[in-house]
Structure 1
Amino acid sequence: MLVPLKQKSSGGRRPKKKIYHRVHELDRVMDLQKKPSVILHLKAIIQSQKNQHLLLRDLEKQVGFVQKWNFMAVIEKYPSIFHVDAGSSMPPSVTLTEKARKVACGEAESRELMEPVLVKNLRKLLMMSVDCRVPLEKIEFIENELGLPSDFKKSLIPKYPEFFSVKDVNGKAYLHLENWDSSLAVTAREERLTCEGVLPSNPPKKKVRISKDGNFFGPFAFKICFPTGFRANVSYLDELERWQRMEFPSPYLNARRFEAADPKARKRVVAVLHELLSLTMERRLTSIQLDAFHSEYLLPSRLLLCLIKHHGIFYITNKGVRSTVFLKEAYNDSHLTDKCPLLLFIDKFIALSGRREINLCNEMTS
């Protein structure tokens, strides 16, 4: 992807084009999710039926005429997951195989294990917003990425009145934070640095310099993962070192307290984006989803350029229906390194198809 940037004329010489380096391993993540997402979608449709059987003639009503053929292909390709019952007295129907039903029983346990994680992440999401509240429709917009059940407004929110409340603001329903918890105001970046023994009260010595891969051992540094083929020159590394050393306010402090033009505030924006992605199951959101939270987190108007500028931290892929933003440090090649209970269950279910491991955003409804 070519990123057009204005450059000064250099005596008639044509300025060099800025090339956005592809990370093929992360592009591949989007390709790997296609068939598993169909499998999980079909599983959810079958489980939503009263008798756990879906008449094939009703499949088109559920997914549409075009998508029906993709689902039919999956049914035929994975007999270990889907069984077609074509009795003489009844129209053909599809159900889960006995083995698939046994594995599917583990979903309830995984969702039970997910609940404290979801409550914690929702609280952190609200704590970062400028008014400690977010429109419910925006939470719904990323509910799959967070791992929330589709009925979270009824099944989850009312269970925790000490943490959440739903209030009407100018005719729109908002999820409000009831209690601030300073113990939660710690970012995933800070937790990683603490595990590595880096503390704000113990900054590195001045002689410690940034390495050629862009990484720096300091309390205000971000993990950098440059793409293959990117070669940083000395001046770039010097500028990056100054940026890595720079102190900045916590994403959990109100953004209205800081001037947007302040370099420390601009670095704080990177920390906010880093934390938002860290709160999702697979450390990724579409660019549209990120931009939807522009007013709640006072994100920059030129969000795309901010992400591109920090390409060692974030990666944007145009694979799939929409462009997707990845937190690069969360992946080893195409594999998510840390998985929540729900993703572990999904991996186990998809393994019935013969695939060992996937990186898939939860597309199941429950």
Structure 2
Amino acid sequence: MLIFSQLHKFHKLVLINRSGGFKASLGYTWVQIMHKTTGGRKPKKKIYHRVHELDRVMELQKKPSLILQLKSIIQSQKKESLLLRDLEKEVGFVQKWNYMAVIEKYPSIFVVIGGKIDKSPPAVMLSEKAKKIADLEAEATVQMEPILVKNLRKLLMLSVDCRVPLETIEMIGNEMGLPSDFKQSIIPKYPQFFSLKDVSGRWYLDLENWDSSLAVTAREERLAREGLLNTSGHPKRAKISKDGNFSGPHAFHLDFPVGFRANVSYLEEVQRWQKMDFPSPYLNARRIEAADPKARKRAVAVLHELLSLTMEKRLTSAQLDAFHSEYRLPARLLLCLIKHHGIFYITNKGAKSTVILKEAYDGSDLTNKCPLLKFRDKFLELMGRRDVSSCIGASSTN
């Protein structure tokens, strides 16, 4: 049960329950933890290599996240202005001061009205320029709907019973780009795809119809775009390079961190793994023997696809663990993620441990953005920063 997490040069320990959940961190190094998990044998010291550009993703999103949250709070008010004295009710006493600092720092976005001059209580509202850009959000929302419907269907298709607890979907709703009222605004509009069912007192979102055309992973779509698959599904070439990448139909894109030096035996093992075929993540996991190495590779593909369904290709460790039962994720989820560090990156720079799909980023920038993220970028240009690009999760300040 004792497995490590906090991934600095010296690592910290995380208590993991039997379902693979991340619980609490203590002050152990990698060597101490591996000593415990290998039956007392002293292993060779290993280092989890940091990727500073991906750590920076979490740093860059802090102020943009506050700005977007405050924008939403202001827009939710009847008069589209918020009395400063009511700010604490909306965000809490501690966070209030962070929001006050944002209001003061960005007059191009937020305007304070009232106060001593006209003796009315001071309130904050969006600037005229910010209002004009905020109006574009409605268009982005319309463009997002077919994307969200498709991704919700794929999310359900990944599960063993084509159903996921509603609370689990709500847990990652912001990361997928779902509106807060998606249960009323989206689900009822598509009865041919979705239904809500009460199962033993727990609400589930069920898939009504299976669509084989959707059972294609983001990994397979990338290989097709790059021409690495021919019509028969075989690789055009079969060559392994020093970076571990392999041009085959069953290969994943690997991006090892700077400083990681793979020896020949490691690369040979990677090559064998890259060549190994495996069942589709959309194939029911009950039909697969868990101990089969192909099943373990399939688990990596499930994690890859789940992250690909989010806007910013990242989820917290707790969010990933919430899918443990429905997706039959590995019991030692953290070790699986760390073993495949060429695919996934774990950062603790934010308030919570976060898993990032490495191939989705160029440095700190998200390479492909949905309409909602493009709108947010445009709004946040009012900050005077044009590098806010990749990391603007409006719900990431928890």
Does residue 66 in structure 1 map to residue 97 in structure 2?
no
The aligned counterpart of 2:363 is 333
Q: Deviations over 1:262-281 (max 9, x none)?
A: 00000000000000000000
Q: Deviations over 1:244-303 (max 9, x none)?
A: 000000000000101111000000000000000000000000000000000000001100
Q: Distance in 2 between matches of 1:346 and 1:196?
A: 29
| Post-superposition offset of 1:88 | 1.5
What is the one-letter code of the residue matched to 2:34? L
Q: Deviations over 1:82-106 (max 9, x none)?
A: 0011241311111000000000000
* Equivalent residue runs for 1:182-201 within 5 Å: 182-199=212-229, 201=232
Query: Is the Cα contact below 8 Å between 2:65 and 2:395 reproduced in 1?
Result: yes
The aligned counterpart of 2:146 is 116
Mind listing any 5+ residue stretches in structure 2 that lack a counterpart?
A: 1-6, 12-29
What is the one-letter code of the residue matched to 2:62? K
Q: Mean Cα displacement is larger for which, 354-363 or 151-160?
A: 354-363
Query: Is the Cα contact below 8 Å between 1:26 and 1:333 reproduced in 2?
Result: yes
Q: Distance in 2 between matches of 1:322 and 1:93?
A: 32
The aligned counterpart of 1:360 is 392
The aligned counterpart of 2:277 is 247
Structure 1 residues 202 and 54, CA gap change in structure 2 (3 angstroms): closer
The aligned counterpart of 1:219 is 249
**How big is the alpha-carbon RMSD for the aligned residues of Structure 1 and Structure 2?**
1.6
Alignment size in residue pairs:
360
What is the one-letter code of the residue matched to 1:203? H
What is the one-letter code of the residue matched to 2:75? Q
The aligned counterpart of 1:292 is 322
The aligned counterpart of 2:107 is 79
Which of 170, 187, 191 pairs up with 1:140?
A: 170
| Post-superposition offset of 1:64 | 1.2
Secondary structure of the structure 2 residue equivalent to 1:68 = helix
What is the one-letter code of the residue matched to 1:348? K
| Post-superposition offset of 1:209 | 2.7
Which of 370, 373, 384 pairs up with 1:343?
A: 373
What is the one-letter code of the residue matched to 2:393? C
The aligned counterpart of 1:18 is 46
Q: Distance in 2 between matches of 1:190 and 1:205?
A: 15
Q: Deviations over 1:105-152 (max 9, x none)?
A: 000100100000000000000001000000101000000000000000
| Post-superposition offset of 1:9 | 9.0
Does residue 324 in structure 1 map to residue 367 in structure 2?
no
Between the aligned residues of both structures, percent identity stands at 73
| Post-superposition offset of 1:165 | 0.4
Q: TM-score normalised to the size of structure 2?
A: 0.88
The aligned counterpart of 1:203 is 234
Which of 25, 34, 39 pairs up with 1:5?
A: 34
Q: Distance in 2 between matches of 1:40 and 1:142?
A: 18
Q: Deviations over 1:57-83 (max 9, x none)?
A: 111111111111111110000000000
Structure 1 residues 160 and 8, CA gap change in structure 2 (3 angstroms): closer
Query: Is the Cα contact below 8 Å between 2:229 and 2:236 reproduced in 1?
Result: no
Q: Distance in 1 between matches of 2:110 and 2:304?
A: 39
| Post-superposition offset of 1:5 | 2.6
Query: Is the Cα contact below 8 Å between 2:66 and 2:394 reproduced in 1?
Result: no
Q: Distance in 1 between matches of 2:151 and 2:102?
A: 34
Q: Deviations over 1:203-260 (max 9, x none)?
A: 2478x33101110100000000000100100000000000000000000000010111
The aligned counterpart of 1:97 is 127
Q: Distance in 2 between matches of 1:178 and 1:314?
A: 32
Query: Is the Cα contact below 8 Å between 2:250 and 2:277 reproduced in 1?
Result: yes
Q: Distance in 2 between matches of 1:189 and 1:83?
A: 45
Query: Is the Cα contact below 8 Å between 1:82 and 1:95 reproduced in 2?
Result: yes
| Post-superposition offset of 1:357 | 3.4
Does residue 45 in structure 1 map to residue 77 in structure 2?
no
* Equivalent residue runs for 1:236-275 within 5 Å: 236-275=266-305
Does residue 163 in structure 1 map to residue 208 in structure 2?
no
Q: Distance in 2 between matches of 1:202 and 1:52?
A: 55
Q: TM-score normalised to the size of structure 1?
A: 0.95
Query: Is the Cα contact below 8 Å between 2:236 and 2:247 reproduced in 1?
Result: no
Query: Is the Cα contact below 8 Å between 1:343 and 1:362 reproduced in 2?
Result: no
| Post-superposition offset of 1:316 | 0.3
Which of 312, 316, 321 pairs up with 2:342?
A: 312
What is the one-letter code of the residue matched to 1:57? R
Query: Is the Cα contact below 8 Å between 1:347 and 1:357 reproduced in 2?
Result: no
Mind listing any 5+ residue stretches in structure 1 that lack a counterpart?
A: none
Secondary structure of the structure 1 residue equivalent to 2:34 = coil
Secondary structure of the structure 2 residue equivalent to 1:214 = coil
Q: Distance in 2 between matches of 1:159 and 1:202?
A: 37
